[in-house]
Amino acid sequence: MNLDADTPAATVAARGTRAVHSIDHYALLVPDLDIAADFLDAFGLRVVRGENCLEVYAQGDHCWARIFAGERKCLAYLSFNCFAEDLEGIRQQLLASGARPADESPFADGVGAWFLDPDDNLLQVRVGPKTTPDSKQDATLESTPAGVRGASVRSKVAKVRPRRLSHVLLFTPDVQRALTFYEGALGLRLSDRSADIIAFTHAPHGSDHHLIAFVKSSAKGWHHASWDVRDVNEVGQGASQMAKAGYPHGWGTGRHVLGSNYFFYVLDPWGSFCEYSADIDFIAAGSNWPAGDFDPEDSLYQWGPDLPDYFIRNSEA
């Protein structure tokens, strides 16, 4: 990952739109911070209790999420990072796209630009490190030569600990409206979609297949955060790890079509999900990904168990 916030963005800017390059972190409101800490720790994340919230870390020292106490689960805000030379251009794009300034929000800290999107989700855009990878990360499938045992006993399996945040998925009443806004205001680009049901977007500076995605619902809401792990073994081990910890419900293990990643979604205590994800497609900086519009019945997953009814339920609707 390139952690220099001043890296030139001329290649992308030459196309006429300034763009964010990463999600810095997301923030949620939840009814019980102790329950949240238990769930996230079981998932393999490092949870630090701050002055007024939980700070959530994967491997390394970057804070990927902040969890605040609230009456019900919902997105508090979503923070994006950009290069220094892009911030003012993005600020102007936000205004031109109809975003409403939100500098008076209780969460606004005076850093960067704070706005509301068309669904009234609070967004921050700030100068910050590029937390998305600069190239495709290796994903390996363990193999051993003849005469060597390939798997260890269960008691010797290490706890799965995600490497980083990969992407987030939001519910929206209008997928096309959300797509138009995030393309025009933040410079994100369409990766793939399924009619007006779901759309996946990526950052043009080098990004996983999706940085943020939108799925249709009757109301806005938080669906899931996806966390990158090393390989499909860790996806499956993560599922077992969470079941043993008292969180057996979810969907997977399987493989998506759009993004190609291996997945297991763990149902959290508030009706949304955390996903273990491995080997997602990567879109290199400046490249033209062949975005498609796919039949939803043929593109949600290549293999895996049947989709549970509660997977597409918006608990905030």
- Region 220-231: mean pLDDT is 97
Decide if pLDDT at 159 tops 50.
yes
Rounded to whole angstroms, the Cα distance separating 152 from 205 reads 40
Decide if pLDDT at 211 tops 80.
yes
* Residue 15 pLDDT class (50, 70, 90 cuts): low
Q: Quick one: tokens of 176?
A: 């096309």
pLDDT in tens, 275-286: 999 999 999 999
pLDDT in tens, 21-32: 999 999 999 999
- Region 259-269: mean pLDDT is 98
Residue 246's Cβ-side half-sphere holds a number of Cα atoms within 13 Å equal to 7
Helix/strand/coil for 305: coil
pLDDT in tens, 127-148: 999 999 999 988 777 788 999 9
* Residue 14 pLDDT class (50, 70, 90 cuts): very low
Decide if pLDDT at 233 tops 90.
yes
Which of 121-130, 149-158, 178-187 shows the lowest per-residue confidence on average (mean pLDDT)? 149-158
Exposed / middle / buried, residue 289 (Cβ in 10 Å: 0-12, 13-18, 19+): middle
pLDDT of amino acid 3: 39
State percent of the chain over pLDDT 70. 95
pLDDT of amino acid 141: 78
Q: Residue written as tokens 């800490």?
A: 37
Q: Quick one: tokens of 174?
A: 């209008």
Which of 13-22, 169-178, 189-198, 288-297 shows the lowest per-residue confidence on average (mean pLDDT)? 13-22
State percent of the chain over pLDDT 90. 88
pLDDT of amino acid 142: 76
- Region 64-83: mean pLDDT is 98
Rounded to whole angstroms, the Cα distance separating 303 from 149 reads 28
pLDDT of amino acid 10: 45
Q: Which CATH architecture best describes the domain 163-312?
A: Roll (3.10)
Domains 10-127 and 163-312 share a fold: yes
Residues 122 and 74 sit within 8 Å (Cβ to Cβ): no
Decide if pLDDT at 274 tops 70.
yes
* CATH of span 10-127: 3.10.180.10
Domain ranges of the chain: 10-127, 163-312
- Region 108-117: mean pLDDT is 97
Helix/strand/coil for 190: strand
Q: At what angle do helices 175-186 and 87-96 cross, to 10 degrees?
A: 140
Decide if pLDDT at 8 tops 60.
no
pLDDT in tens, 171-210: 999 999 999 999 999 999 999 999 999 999 999 999 999 9
| Predicted structure pTM score | 0.94
Position 123, amino acid: L
- Region 239-243: mean pLDDT is 98
pLDDT in tens, 74-85: 999 999 999 999
